[in-house]
Amino acid sequence: MSSARGALAALAVDRLAGLDVASSELVAAGERAVGEGLRAPSLAALAGLDHRDHRAVTDAFAHVVEELGIELPPDATAAQWQLLGEQLGEMVRGDVSLTAGANVVTSLDDRLGHPAALHELRQWLAMLASWIPTDVTPVSYCEQQVLQHARAVLAGPWPPVTR
Q: How many distinct structural domains can be found in the chain?
A: 2
Q: Is 44 a domain residue?
A: yes
Distance, in Å, from the CA atom of 17 to the CA atom of 82, rounded to the nearest integer, reads 9
Closest CA to 120 of 87, 104, 142: 142
| 85: amino acid identity, one letter | G
Distance, in Å, from the CA atom of 161 to the CA atom of 23, rounded to the nearest integer, reads 35
Q: Do 59 and 88 fall into the same domain?
A: no
Question: Phi and psi (nearest 5°) for 162?
Answer: -115, 135
Q: Is 129 a domain residue?
A: yes
Query: Crossing angle for the helix pair 76-93 and 139-155, nearest 10 degrees?
Result: 130
Q: Is 99 a domain residue?
A: yes
Q: Do 104 and 135 fall into the same domain?
A: yes
Distance, in Å, from the CA atom of 5 to the CA atom of 70, rounded to the nearest integer, reads 8
Q: Do 80 and 147 fall into the same domain?
A: yes
Q: Is 162 a domain residue?
A: no
- Read off the pLDDT of each residue in 5-32 and give the average, rounded to a whole number: 96
Least confident piece of the model among 14-28, 39-53, 93-107, 148-162? 148-162
pLDDT tens sequence across 74-122: 999 999 999 999 999 999 999 999 989 999 999 999 999 999 999 999 9
Q: What predicted TM-score, i.e. pTM, was given to this entire model?
A: 0.88
The domain boundary residue, chosen from 67, 85, 103: 67
Range of the domain at 87: 76-155
